[in-house]
Amino acid sequence: MLKQLPLLFFVGAIFLSACGTFEVSIEGTPTSATPTQTSTVSPTLLPQATLLPPTPTATLVQSLTPPATPAITSTPPCDLAEFIADVTVPDATIFKPRDTFTKTWRLKNIGTCSWTTQYALVFVRGQAMIVPEPQHLAGTVAPGEMVDVSVNLTAPETPDVYSGYWALENASGARVSIPGSSDATFYVNIKVVPETASFKVTVDSLAVSCQKSDFFTVTATITSNGPGTISYSFSNGGSDPPSPTTLTFDSATTLTVTRDIPSSVIIPSHPELAWVQIMVSGPNQEIVSDQDALKCP
């Protein structure tokens, strides 16, 4: 039995050889036949950045302060006025028909020329209120000085609101400019209201005297029952009556009015015309007095 062992060993080797290669390690740890793989990490591709145009570099602009410009001093014109105030008769002052009043304005000379007596206050437009001739300045007004200019006026007969515009003119007739006024004017503004219905007057007397050579002096007394205004005129035979004269009563009182009539109005061939009478026109009545003879007592 022992002689057959080599043969069996030989046969087993052949069989194992047919099945595959094997390795027998007498010492140490068995080595794996599987080859070791080396892991290669592919680089990760980042998204391609969008290329932007380069940001322009801001140019620093230095703020330069321009050199100071010398102040230009303008010279005022020759004729220039500043309206200062209404000295009398404020706007919407109430008057009765035919009331007389004085309107005064205060002006300041802010020009470079003096205002002389050749400068005048003149009416421009609106309600005249019986405008007198241009009112010349009473004296010289130097630059920087103020002056009060006045005009005497009469309220219209019809109740209403009235305005009159005035200006200051130089010696050449040119208006003195006023800042804030497009036409260089200043104005008066009043309100005329009706007379009270109770206002009445009476003619108390009418007398003729010869106090002056070649003249008849006619005197009349008129009494009112309160404040108010009337117009009156003396008329005589053979002549047209003169323009009416305004008479104002401040209260219930009696006033005396006179007129000188030349003796030449007497016509010897017409003695019937040698007379005089007074005519009164008021807001509530009309009075014509009796005729009185034009003769010396």
What pLDDT digit, counting tens, does each position of 45-82 carry?
444 545 555 555 545 445 555 666 656 567 889 999 99
Domains identified in the chain and CATH numbers? 81-192 (2.60.40.10), 201-293 (2.60.40.10)
Taken in order 188, 194, 199, 205, the sign of the CA dihedral is positive
For residues 30 and 24, give the distance between their C-alpha atoms in angstroms, rounded to a whole number: 9
Q: Which two tokens stand for residue 170?
A: 């130089």
Global pTM exceeds 0.85: no
Query: Which pLDDT score is estimated for 66?
Result: 60
Query: Which pLDDT score is estimated for 177?
Result: 97
Query: Which pLDDT score is estimated for 79?
Result: 97
For residues 244 and 260, give the distance between their C-alpha atoms in angstroms, rounded to a whole number: 15
In one-letter notation, the amino acid at residue 259 is R
Segments in the chain below pLDDT 70 = 1-73, 196-197, 238
Q: Which two tokens stand for residue 278?
A: 């007074």
Query: Which pLDDT score is estimated for 237?
Result: 81
Query: Which pLDDT score is estimated for 197?
Result: 66
Residues 6+ away with beta carbon under 8 Å from 178: 80, 81, 82, 83, 184, 185, 186
Q: Buried b vs exposed e over 153-177: b needs ≥16 C-beta within 10 Å?
A: bbbbeeeeebebbbbbbbeeeebbb
